[in-house]
Amino acid sequence: MEGRKTPLYDRHTAAGGKIVPFAGWLLPVQYSGVIAEHRAVRSACGLFDVSHMGELVLRGADALVNVNNLMTNDFSGMADGQARYSPMCYEDGGVVDDLIVYRCSDTAYLIVVNAANRDKDAGWIRAHLTGDCAMEDISDQVAQLALQGPEAESILRTLTGDIPEKNYTAVLRGTVDGRPCLVSRTGYTGEDGFELYCAPGDAPALWDALIAAGAVPCGLGARDTLRLEAAMPLYGHELSPEINPYEAGLGIFVKLDKDGFIGKAALEQARPVRRRRVGLKMTGRGIAREECPVYDGERQIGVVTSGTHCPWLGCAVAMALVDADYKEPGTALQVDVRGRRVEAEVVKTPFYKRNG
């Protein structure tokens, strides 16, 4: 297999992780098994290597102006250590990527991008910078560990007191097990969760310390089933250059009342949408997968963007992009699964919500 190795590659192979290529990297898809790892995150705490993610920094007196021009969300009024999620769009409203942006100071913003889009995002951002602002790609200087689950905070507290109090905030200059870290609290699984951004050389020791404290190592397989249960959109599936934020159900992150941003003119004309991301619960026997056609009787009205059997829910669910007339919960549809029509029902998302 060809691909880049994260600083934790040797830990993965030593623990029996099944390595697969992903977004140009070699990462574990599972250790003990996807179902066991999925349940560990829902019931206790899982630990993921997400060092393949990209980190870009905007610096300069005009950093905020540029962040607001590049992103659909509004980053004005943030305090140091706050984070916000946002799509980043092309001029036609299609999505370049979906990102998390941290304010580090009034002249510095950390942008976390999807691994497969790192080079594309860096090029797009660099090409659209204006004024006193420069971008630095620091991805190779950063490793990232994600701790997820109801016991994540108690496990992390055995190694540090630098715990962000609120979701989407960060301790910018913390230490974990004596090692410098940016400690953030976001998550991707529907559970409480933390991310540790550290020097690559510190990642193996932090990984060992968190596992010794009770975290269960988890791979890409569980990460995907967890994010699907939580109905989190995935770039290349629910988001793409051909899918705008309104169609993806992310209109809350589009702030048309702020000054102009890339894609604003197109998004002002994008409503009402003709299609919409919805949640589907399979009521018949079958598992909907990506690209399965969705029907209302004999007419195809959409396509599945992600789908699987969810270990915690005990049923098959999917997300699909369908004609907007079919977005209401309770709507009966059919999914073509390998040439066989399987009954499904539109349901509210997220499919899983912590304490809900």
Q: 169-189, pLDDT tens digit by residue? A: 999 999 999 999 999 999 889
pLDDT of residue 2: 87
pLDDT of residue 105: 98
Phi, psi of 228 (to 5 degrees): -70, -45
Tokens of 111: 């942008």
pLDDT of residue 354: 82
CA 84, CA 73: separation in Å to the nearest integer? Answer: 8
- As annotated, the residues of the chain forming the CATH 3.30.70.1400 domain(s) are 54-138
Report residues of the chain scoring pLDDT below 70: 355-356
Q: 317-330, pLDDT tens digit by residue? A: 999 999 999 999 99
pLDDT of residue 21: 97
Q: Which letter does DSSP use for residue 115 in this model?
A: G
Q: Which amino acid is at 203?
A: A
- As annotated, the residues of the chain forming the CATH 2.40.30.110 domain(s) are 274-347
CATH of domain 274-347: 2.40.30.110
Tokens of 259: 């000054």
Angle at 90 between CA 328 and CA 119, to 5 degrees: 115
Q: What's this model's pTM, rounded to 2 decimal places?
A: 0.96
Tokens of 210: 């968190």
CA 62, CA 129: separation in Å to the nearest integer? Answer: 9
Which fold, 4-51+142-229?
A: Gyrase A; domain 2 (3.30.1360)
- CATH number among 3.40.50.300, 3.40.630.30, 3.20.20.60, 3.30.70.1400, domain 54-138: 3.30.70.1400
